Structure 1
Amino acid sequence: MRSVWPPSPAGTELSDEDLELVYGYPEDLRGPFVQVNFVASADGAVAVEELSKGLSHPADRRVFLLGRDLADVILVGGGTVRTENYRGARTNAVRAARRARLGLAPAPPIAVVTRTATLDPAGPLFTDTRVPPLVVTTSRAETGALAEAGADVLVAGEDDVDLPRALAMLAERGLRRVDCEGGPGLFAQLIADDLVDQLCLSVAPLLIGGAASRIAAGPAAAVPRRLDLASVLVEDGFTLLRYRRGRG
């Protein structure tokens, strides 16, 4: 993997340490910093046969796992948890050493945003994990079975999840580095609430067609949100774009 923006010497391959500098969170955060991580085809599809793994590549996977390694918490929508059959975040000796060096917990929790809390307490999110998941939901949701399965339930809203409030609650727990892995509905709501600080978008050199969803599908922003291009990495035809919240 090499960088074309900012430009690096021709042929220079980026090391893991280089990527940490590229994708690292700002230091001394006092509030939440939300990074959103997506892969899409060249024609904008976010899935092949309803799963994102059909678009993935080792380069994209490397950045995806790095995003997890650098984060305090992984934020994901309930629909994505069910479709992708989420389990707890994994690690290995190298990745655990990186997190320890950065002063982070051994593994980040998964925080699921779900208005109804319709999750399977016998699913791998609860049974195949190193740390209990957080369920970010509403006061109307039935959460007793999830709490019994070990979930830490955060109530942020009555009828719908109040995302600013939810992120503030996570920040109060020291979970400020937020790595959002989708899905499109959650991303759209983050955009509408003007909560996105960074977008990491991997573009796969594939054409999918059909009726696959775009990376954001839901409420629109009151006005378009300006992003600044922060980096462009390439490998094997895949383009890994990183955008930061615009300064203007």
Structure 2
Amino acid sequence: MILLHGDGDPTTPDGLRAIYAPPRLPWLRVNMVSSLDGAATGSDGRSGTVNNAVDVDVFHALRDLADVVLVGAGTANTETYGAARAPIVIVSRRGRIPDDLRGCEPGSVRLATVAEAPGLAAARDELGEENVYVTGTLEVDLPALLARLHEEGLRHVLCEGGPTLLGSLIEAGLVDELCHTITPKLLAGSGPRIVAGPPMDVPVSLGSLIEHDGTLLGRWLL
């Protein structure tokens, strides 16, 4: 591993954590991966077929640093999420809890949804009312959700997508940092990009850049 931009030693776990330590709190970072030609998923619809071992190392480092993991229900379902060290908050307008996240330890899985969600009552029964955040009527109010998490002491938020949730967070001006891994693959096809939504033009600056056997791991500050 070679650090091309920034300070720190990426070759040790402690050094990698130091490179990715948030500069202040609260802090919302998003972690995404794509192929060289911009595909966010492989032919099976999963990012797991795009990433590689060094990206997985950074994935675990970011999770170790985070207070809470934020993820869209579709991504959590497709990527077969399980419980993690930090609480996982599923964002779903339908009040949907992915099957693999049912029956977890109370508080380890939470839900952000809306008052009109068809699955709201069932989610409260499954997770407990205190672990279901209702922020909005038809659309999840993301600023209100973040404020609620911060009030609970969950100030370092790691979002793991998917592209639609990332687009909504950027549009709302809530993202502080995008961690983007580019793997040395060309996939073509019609897979999604890492950001979905209406056109936008958001300037970013490079925080750090690591290279490992052709894989580029960048921290981009918004």
- TM-score by length of structure 2 reads 0.92
The equivalent of 2:109 in structure 1 is 133
Residue identity opposite 2:217 in structure 1: L
Find the aligned partners of 1:166 and 1:119 in 2 and give their Cα distance. Answer: 17
**Do residues 204 (structure 1) and 180 (structure 2) align?**
no
2:30 to 17, 36, 55: 36
Residue identity opposite 2:5 in structure 1: W
Contact (CA 8 Å) 2:89, 2:109: kept in 1 or not?
A: yes
Report matched runs for 1:16-27 at 5 Å. 16-27=13-24
Residues 94-144 of structure 1 show CA distances to partners (whole Å, capped at 9, x for unaligned) of xxxxxxxxxxxxx21001111111234xx2212355853110000111322
Contact (CA 8 Å) 2:10, 2:210: kept in 1 or not?
A: no
Find the aligned partners of 2:104 and 2:41 in 1 and give their Cα distance. Answer: 24
**Do residues 217 (structure 1) and 211 (structure 2) align?**
no
Find the aligned partners of 1:183 and 1:13 in 2 and give their Cα distance. Answer: 26
The equivalent of 2:50 in structure 1 is 55
Find the aligned partners of 1:240 and 1:110 in 2 and give their Cα distance. Answer: 24
Contact (CA 8 Å) 1:194, 1:225: kept in 2 or not?
A: no
The equivalent of 1:81 in structure 2 is 76
Q: 1:13 to 1:158 in 2, by over 3 A?
A: closer
1:229 to 183, 206, 210: 206
Number of equivalences? 218
Deviation at 1:167, TM superposition (A): 0.6
Residue identity opposite 2:94 in structure 1: T
- What CA RMSD, in Å, does the superposition of the two structures yield over aligned residues? 1.7
Q: For 1:242, what is the secondary structure of its paired residue?
A: strand
Residue identity opposite 1:226 in structure 2: P
1:124 to 100, 104, 111: 100
Identity %: 38
The equivalent of 2:60 in structure 1 is 65
Residue identity opposite 1:79 in structure 2: G
Q: 1:176 to 1:7 in 2, by over 3 A?
A: closer
Q: 1:131 to 1:2 in 2, by over 3 A?
A: farther
- TM-score by length of structure 1 reads 0.83
Deviation at 1:241, TM superposition (A): 0.7
The equivalent of 2:121 in structure 1 is 144
Find the aligned partners of 1:213 and 1:129 in 2 and give their Cα distance. Answer: 33
Residues 145-166 of structure 1 show CA distances to partners (whole Å, capped at 9, x for unaligned) of 2222225100010110011111
Residues 18-58 of structure 1 show CA distances to partners (whole Å, capped at 9, x for unaligned) of 1111100134x2xx411000010000000112011111111
Find the aligned partners of 1:7 and 1:167 in 2 and give their Cα distance. Answer: 29
Q: For 2:49, what is the secondary structure of its paired residue?
A: helix
Q: For 2:217, what is the secondary structure of its paired residue?
A: strand
Contact (CA 8 Å) 2:90, 2:97: kept in 1 or not?
A: no
Residues 160-216 of structure 1 show CA distances to partners (whole Å, capped at 9, x for unaligned) of 001111111111111110000000000000111111100000001000001000001
Find the aligned partners of 2:106 and 2:138 in 1 and give their Cα distance. Answer: 31
Residue identity opposite 2:101 in structure 1: L
Deviation at 1:13, TM superposition (A): 5.7
1:241 to 214, 218, 221: 218
Q: 1:172 to 1:220 in 2, by over 3 A?
A: farther
